[in-house]
Amino acid sequence: MDFPNSNVFKIGNFLDDLSKNFKIKSLIIDHLQLLNLDKHQNNLPRYEKMTQITRQLKILAKDKNINILAISQLSRDFEKRNSAKTEIDVQLSDLRDSGSIEQDADVVMFLIVRKDLKDKDRYGLVISKNRNGSTEIIDSKFFKEKFLFCFKGDEFCKVCKNLIVDSKKTKLADGNFVCSEECLVNLKKIGENNELK
């Protein structure tokens, strides 16, 4: 959805139209600070506007029974505090116009570059707020060629390098996996050690 002057009311109408033909489970908003209120409320101070927007999004999520992932800008304080550090420090207050975002959100996550690790493709998913669970940092690796973030426990096919997403996998003696019979045949053709465990 890319409408000029988008607001939560327009998003709700758009979801109603879509739901006539599709089952809507999630909505992603990129980014939260671009949303507006209706024209009668649009002259409110920025903080009050964001308070209204996040409250309306919370109500919309409950009314439509969907998950809403709203991407937010970070404040300038975040950049100032972290420009020279090797380990990134994120806080809920780093969300731009943050008070209502951190109050209304069920989960707040930050994706950070792990400067403290040698592998430049390492990231951390920082869960700073979790209304129904724990807060933690989850290590991940980014594969640019596939535009894919993978987390600990994810497994890849030794032959085609695809992420294995179902239980149809075969474990090899070396601890690696293949995702299909076709990949297992290809592995045998190229003479790899394919003794099964």
pLDDT tens digits, one per residue of 127-168: 999 999 999 888 887 877 777 787 777 788 888 877 787 667
Within 8 A by CB and 6+ apart from 188, the residues are: 194
Cα separation, 107 vs 79, whole angstroms:
22
Calpha distance 195→188 (Å, rounded): 10
The structure's pTM equals 0.70
Q: Is the pLDDT of residue 5 over 90?
A: no
Sort 108 into a burial class: Cβ within 10 Å, 0-12 / 13-18 / 19+: buried
Angstrom CA distances, 70 to 30, 40, 152, stand at 6, 23, 25
For the chain, what is the HEC assignment? Answer: CCCCCCEHHHHHHHHHHHCCCCCCCEEEEECHHHCECCCCCCCCCHHHHHHHHHHHHHHHHHHHCCEEEEECCECHHHHHHHCCCCCCCCCHHHECCHHHHHHHCCEEEEEEECCCCCCCCEEEEEEEEECCCCCEEEEEEEEHHHCEEEECCCCEECCCCCECCCCCCEEECCCCEECCHHHHHHHHHCCCCCCEC
- Tokens 């179902």 correspond to 166
Express each pLDDT in 105-131 by its tens digit: 999 999 888 766 666 667 888 899 999
Structure tokens at 70: 């709203």
159-196 pLDDT per residue, tens: 887 778 766 778 888 888 888 888 888 888 877 554 44
